[in-house]
Structure 1
């Protein structure tokens, strides 16, 4: 199966499930994040990262459900590693860093914590809480930090029930264009 078809299947199947205590499905959340990125004129790799940022809930060894019962599933890393089979770092690294960006924003912007949903506050605790000053300084100077922060802002805003956004097929051409190399999925999907 082609990579984009594999991802589409994840959106249609696992993505149709509840999004860890949020008022939208996981697929609706990721589609909203991508639509917000596109509306702000983000470059294609960052739109793709916004669209794919939570695939680690589906592809990692620890599920999103387990995250909500107290086990950090490190979905940002699991998703970035899985996507790295096909996509360049300009897509995978903002995905990898989007949880760190939440921790960063909570440390450097006093009002950011107030924008978090109840579920996001809960997972923040599991993910290490707000960064220390030293961690925040180190994060801010790292590659892809600015992209991860932008992605994080869209992530938090992408939880609107019944939002009217494009479906997955709208992003197929963008994803096809960004594929690092032709590949088929070895996951049997």
Structure 2
């Protein structure tokens, strides 16, 4: 079985170079900047890795990120969480699975949050269900990783700067390898 870092390296080097859904950064740059924001905020390794990997669901599947921008929800959050579960536990996969819902939740519970979203993010939120209603807010708040997903979502919003200093996947290798459950402690690099 391929370890997480090697599988991710292939994705980031290939599909990661694609445009990030109407933003001025590539998909890989966006995810890496999101990881850097999480690390700078002192987030635990699990949340840093979730931040780096939260949008890998745009890379594959029957409906791509381009389809999302055309008005079809690609459910990239669930696709990513499922794919990442090959290597990582719920502390990584659940914030990833919930990060779209977190955007909808934050818009429902913090009216000023919506105004901070990029135009592309506002558009995709409408495709992904729009602002949560009261029942959805209560259900989301009851999720075990809701708080981490909200933190991830706020880091996500910071990962869209075309002028940010470069960051690479290799900058996160220690965190990724440290959490990859397929690596034995002796084989971690």
Bin of the TM-score, shorter chain as denominator length? over 0.9
> 1:33 offset after TM fit, Å?
0.4
Cross-structure match for 1:176: 177
Residues 126-164 of structure 1, C-alpha deviations (whole Å, 9 max, x = no match): 100000012112211211000000000010121011211
Structure 1 gap ranges (5+): 184-189
- Matches of 2:134 and 2:61 in 1, distance apart? 30
Q: Is structure 2 residue 38 aligned with structure 1 residue 37?
A: yes
Matches within 5 A, 1:96-111: 96-111=97-112
- Matches of 1:12 and 1:181 in 2, distance apart? 22
Cross-structure match for 2:9: 8
SS in structure 1 of the partner of residue 111 of structure 2: coil
Cross-structure match for 2:118: 117
Q: Is structure 2 residue 68 aligned with structure 1 residue 67?
A: yes
Runs of 4+ in 1 over 6 A off after TM superposition: none
Cross-structure match for 1:186: none
Q: State TM-score, norm by structure 2.
A: 0.93
Residues 23-69 of structure 1, C-alpha deviations (whole Å, 9 max, x = no match): 11100000110000000100000000000000000133211011111
Q: Report the aligned-residue RMSD.
A: 1.2
User: Aligned residues, how many?
Assistant: 183
On the 8 A contact 2:3/2:87 being kept in 1, the answer is no
Structure 2 gap ranges (5+): 185-189
On the 8 A contact 1:104/1:130 being kept in 2, the answer is yes
Q: State TM-score, norm by structure 1.
A: 0.93
Cross-structure match for 1:163: 164
